Amino acid sequence: MTGKNKWIIALVMLGIFGVIVVEGVVNPRIEAKQAQYEAEQQDPLTHDFAALAKYRSAYMGDFSNLSHLNQTLPLNDQLNGYQLYPETFTAQIKYRMNASDMKPEELERILVYNAAANFVWIDNLEHVLYTFEDIQYTLSREAAQQWAGTEMKTLQEPDKWDATVRKKLVEPAQVKEAFSQIVYN
């Protein structure tokens, strides 16, 4: 066997070893981290708020932006369409599930979080109408600002968001209070 053949065999063995390491160790770790991140995005208490900054818009009529924003918020796997009402600056967000299928506290936390995020990143959005198979909820910017104690657009910094919104959605009593203050039906 010549030196050239030895090098070829060594390189083939190194390539096979590299593929085994990448496919057997590296890729599963990356996939596990991605799965964990995606699971965290379904909970308002662990959601990556900073990732929403790219969806900032002055106008609720930017349909693509509004839809992409809501596709990154909790409960995005149940989205079933949108309807915009520009005359009242309202966005209707439809879900293909019954609200009664979720624990009330969990649903209320998600709706307050999602609506507040919409108000923070879309300047002229005044109302968000969440439509489920069995019920509708309307949340208003004005009520959200009263609950938060500040203009919603001032909460674009993750630290301010966490201190003003996320911190108020930890305890069940806080969630119920926030929901009752922001929602009107």
Phi-psi map region of 89: left, alpha, beta (phi>0 left; psi -120 to 50 alpha): left
The model's pTM is 0.84
Tell me which DSSP letter residue 157 carries: S
Band (185; pLDDT cuts 50, 70, 90):
low
pLDDT of residue 71: 95
Residue 28 has pLDDT above 80, yes or no: no
Does 162 have pLDDT greater than 80?
Answer: yes
What's the CA gap between 159 and 162, in Å, rounded? 5
Range picked from 16-20, 62-66, 141-145 for highest mean pLDDT: 141-145
Instruction: Count CB neighbours of 128 within 10 A.
Output: 27
Q: Of all residues in the chain, what percent carry a pLDDT higher than 70? A: 99
| Sheet with strand 90-95: strands edge to edge | 79-85, 90-95, 127-131, 136-140, 183-184
Tens of pLDDT along 67-123?
999 999 999 999 999 999 999 999 999 999 999 999 999 999 999 999 999 999 999
pLDDT at 76: 95
Q: What does the pLDDT look like over 11-21, one tens digit per residue?
A: 888 888 878 87
Tell whether the model's pLDDT for residue 173 goes beyond 90.
yes
Q: What is the arithmetic mean of pLDDT over 138-153?
A: 95
Contact 125, 144 (CB under 8 A): no
How do residues 41-55 score in pLDDT, each as one tens digit? Answer: 789 999 999 999 999
In angstroms, the CA 102 to CA 64 distance is 28
User: 183-184 and 136-140 as β-strands: parallel, antiparallel, unpaired?
Assistant: antiparallel
| CA 98 vs CA 52, 55, 108: distances in Å | 26, 28, 13
For the chain, domain boundaries: 1-40, 49-184
